[in-house]
Chains A and B, each alone.
Chain A
Amino acid sequence: MSAVVSPIRDPLIYGHKSYHDITEDLVSPTERTPSAPWVIGFILSISLLGFGLFCIAWTIWHGIGTWNLNRTVGWGWDITNFVWWIGIGHAGTLISAILLLFRQKWRTGVNRAAEAMTIFAVICAALFPGIHVGRAWVVFYFFPYPNTRGPLWPNFNSPLLWDLFAISTYFTVSLLFWYTGLVPDFATVRDRAKGMRKKVYNFLSFGWVGSAKHWQRWEALSLVLAGIATPLVLSVHTIVSFDFATSVIPGWHTTIFPPYFVAGAIFSGFAMVLTLMLVVRKVLHLEEYITLNHVESMNKVILATGSIVGVAYLTELFVAWYSGYVYEQFAFFNRALGPYWWSYFGMMFCNVISPQFFWSRKIRRSVAWTFFLSIVINIGMWFERFVIIATTLARDYIPSSWSYYSPTWVEIGIFIGTIGLFFTLFLIFCRVAPVVAVAEVKSILKSSGDQYCGPDAIHHGHGHDDHGHDHSHEEHAVAESVKEEVAAVVEAVEDDLKKLEGIGPKVEAALKKAGVKTFAALAGSDTNDLQTILDEGDGNFMGNSPESWPHQARLAMEGKWDELEKLQDELQGGKY
């Protein structure tokens, strides 16, 4: 094996894993008997779910009057919970789609679980509009289908109907994306299983064999799904915000709502991913795959989106004052200092102040702090939706109809039930499927494993030295001397990168400006990263393609000039 060492990258997989280790570590949790914490968690979740189902049955049997909604407060905990769950459901697609397009490799550690979380959160969310309409058994009237009532169609001009389309689409696309990613991993589970288990996973894996053409199509599909899921995820919470923003209620009809809701959704979604993943990595011993680097990256996203949310809150207050419109001014005065002041201050503290702790690198990398703050943020984002909905409706235009809304036990029970549903589904998922995407983690091993990058990188292949391959004697180099060699390479002044075909003086300057100064650094670079350097560099590098550079650099680094020359004869302008 040739040595691929990148001193500039932080590793994402620790423990010098081989491909087989990855399979073993990530698949074995589905093969063991459930552990005691899992069983306790499952019993608890399913009991909460049972109570929730009872409360839903109670609502449907006795009618919506079992809730404390009244003439002015038409939306209460139901829609608060709906928006809260939908918001949580935004992190999964963000991680799997937007981060795929941005080629963020750390997504592979958390995307599978985050997508699962998205799907379960959307199921919990969809429950609320379904039952809050009152007559849940005719809820299918929402869908436009040729019917015997005219045919009478739904109102396509209504944001509430847009919402139905947005959420159904979001659910379907997320499910397809998630399952297509799972198919190769189910095949891995299948090929390790025996008996009945093998049959079940054979069915789930859809007959996947890992053929080259299938992988090519699989990647093409993932990329296009990511491309269309990116505007989709932004559209969903935009449309949810239209439910409020297109109304004529002071405090609701503001143009800031779409970006502010989307930022809030990503904020709460990442908080929930962290809450879950910090537990999962501990219980399933996945600390080497879901590393502190992953946690820190997510905390940075939380800090960014949390700050956007904070700015949005302050902007709303400023605009209410600046508009000179008394009803708008009253709505915000009432939110902060009216009967629901406690929820406003809860929201401000949890969403605006608490994420600011993440400016500290120490706190970003602290599991205990992150876990605590992620829960604080989840609570804060629930308060936000409650503030927007309940405080606004409880004080409408006519003071004689003002009221104070608080939920009944049925409303609280349904909310608790959805938490039970969410965790029941998530716990089943943890048993049935690998919680970390096995194939995708393997595909980043050579660029992000700690034997290939970061301070512990060594000249080492993949742990299998027994294949009699012609470079294998190099792998047996004593680790210490190799480390020194790496250190020397790292500190080496600069190499003449122009020796490689396809690199001229201008490209060399651009690469060196970006920190790629040596053959070693170039050999350890990803071609996509190099392409980015070219795209961002001064000058026109349209004709240059970095595809062969890492390969050439590796030969140069190892002093294999003859081989390099042979390769360069085959290359055409540095291209294969």
Chain B
Amino acid sequence: MAHTNRNVIYGLYDDEEIMLTAIKEANAQHLEIMDVYTPFPVHGLDPLLGLSESRLHIAGFIYGLLGTLTAFLGMTWIFTKDWPVVFGGKPHWSVPAFIPITFELTVLFAAIGMTFTFYIVCGLGPGVTNEVLDDRITDDKFCIAFDESEVDSAKAKSFLSSTGASEINKKILS
């Protein structure tokens, strides 16, 4: 999919509330929205677009658990099997002393894992260039985009102009 050209028709709105009303209207008309682009996270957008809740936090929990196990089992193996050293006559397997490092690695693994997962699933990262529909979307415009292969372009156009889009344009995304 990523390599085929997509003919996109999009409308720019001046305010997020007008855009939200427009999306409700699009849902009522059963128009398939390709994507919505905004300069900041707009609350109330996800349910309208039918986006399910992000599962990043589940990934984060798994990474954190991995960190806990790495730290705790690692220190256990090192101090009881690999190279047991006596520190001040204390037991080799001194669990309370392992708590701080176990905690730190839990946090470290969860944070690194989640952040990298975030960039990978979003297809973002150093060297990635995604084509921008309009330069003002990161400034003050709120954009609803339709893929012309999914919706009738005349219908999309009349929808955009009737719901208060201040500009309607077409662009081919490669």
Q: Which A residues have a C-beta under 8 Å from some C-beta of B?
A: 1-2, 18-20, 23, 144, 150-153, 155-157, 159, 161-162, 165-166, 168-169, 172-173, 176-177, 180, 183-184, 187-188, 190-192, 202-203, 206-221, 223-225, 228-229, 231-232, 235, 239, 242, 439-440, 442-443, 461-462, 464, 466-470, 576
Contact = CB atoms under 8 A, between A and B. Distances in A.
Contacts of B123: 207
Given A191-B132, A206-B125, A232-B104, 17 more contacts: A19-B39, A20-B139, A162-B101, A191-B139, A192-B135, A207-B124, A212-B49, A215-B40, A215-B45, A216-B46, A224-B60, A228-B60, A229-B107, A439-B40, A439-B41, A462-B14, A576-B47
A231 B107 contact: yes
B38 interface: yes
A193 to B, nearest CB: 10
Contacts of B124: 183, 206-208, 214
Interface in B128-165: 128-133, 135-140, 164
A203 B94 CA distance: 47
A220 B57 contact: yes
Interface string B21-58: 00000000000000111111110011101010110110
A440 B41 CA distance: 8
A19 B41 contact: no
B68 to A, nearest CB: 12
Q: Which among B105, B129, B140 has the highest number of chain A CB atoms within 10 Å?
A: B140
Contact of A467 (B35, B56, B119, B166): B166
B111 A153 contact: no
A168 B17 CA distance: 43
A150 B82 CA distance: 10
Nearest to B101: A165
Interface string B89-125: 0100010011011011101101110110011011111
Contact of A442 (B39, B74, B97, B104): B39
B140 A19 contact: yes
Contacts of B139: 19-20, 23, 188, 191-192
Interface residues of B, number: 71
A184 B40 CA distance: 8
Nearest to A4: B17
Contacts of B90: 157
B111 A173 contact: yes
A235 B118 contact: no
B78 A144 contact: yes
Given A23-B139, A156-B101, A439 B39 contact: yes
A572 B28 CA distance: 18
A161 B17 CA distance: 52
A221 B15 contact: no
B9 interface: no
B18 interface: yes
Contacts of A212: 35-38, 42, 45-46, 49, 51
Interface of B: 13-15, 17-18, 35-42, 45-47, 49, 51, 53-54, 56-57, 60, 64, 74-75, 78-79, 82-83, 85, 87, 90, 94, 97-98, 100-101, 103-105, 107-108, 110-112, 114-115, 118-119, 121-133, 135-140, 164, 166
A294 to B, nearest CB: 19
B17 to A, nearest CB: 7
B106 to A, nearest CB: 8
A241 to B, nearest CB: 12
16 contacts: A156-B75, A165-B105, A169-B104, A188-B39, A192-B135, A208-B130, A211-B37, A215-B38, A215-B41, A216-B41, A221-B115, A225-B111, A231-B107, A232-B107, A464-B14, A467-B164
Nearest to B137: A210
A216 B51 contact: yes
Contacts of B83: 150-153
Nearest to A180: B115
A22 B149 CA distance: 37
Contacts of A470: 164
Contacts of A224: 56-57, 60, 110, 114
Contact of B112 (A162, A176, A235, A242): A176
A80 B139 CA distance: 45
Contacts of A216: 41, 45-46, 51, 54
Minimum-distance CB pairs A-B, first 7: A207-B128, A19-B140, A220-B54, A191-B135, A162-B100, A207-B130, A157-B97
A165 B107 CA distance: 11
Given A153-B82, A188-B39, A216-B54, A169 B140 contact: no
Given A153-B78, A191-B137, A221 B85 contact: no
B135 A155 contact: no
Contacts of A239: 100
A143 to B, nearest CB: 12
Contacts of A206: 119, 124-126, 128
B137 A209 contact: yes
A443 B45 CA distance: 13
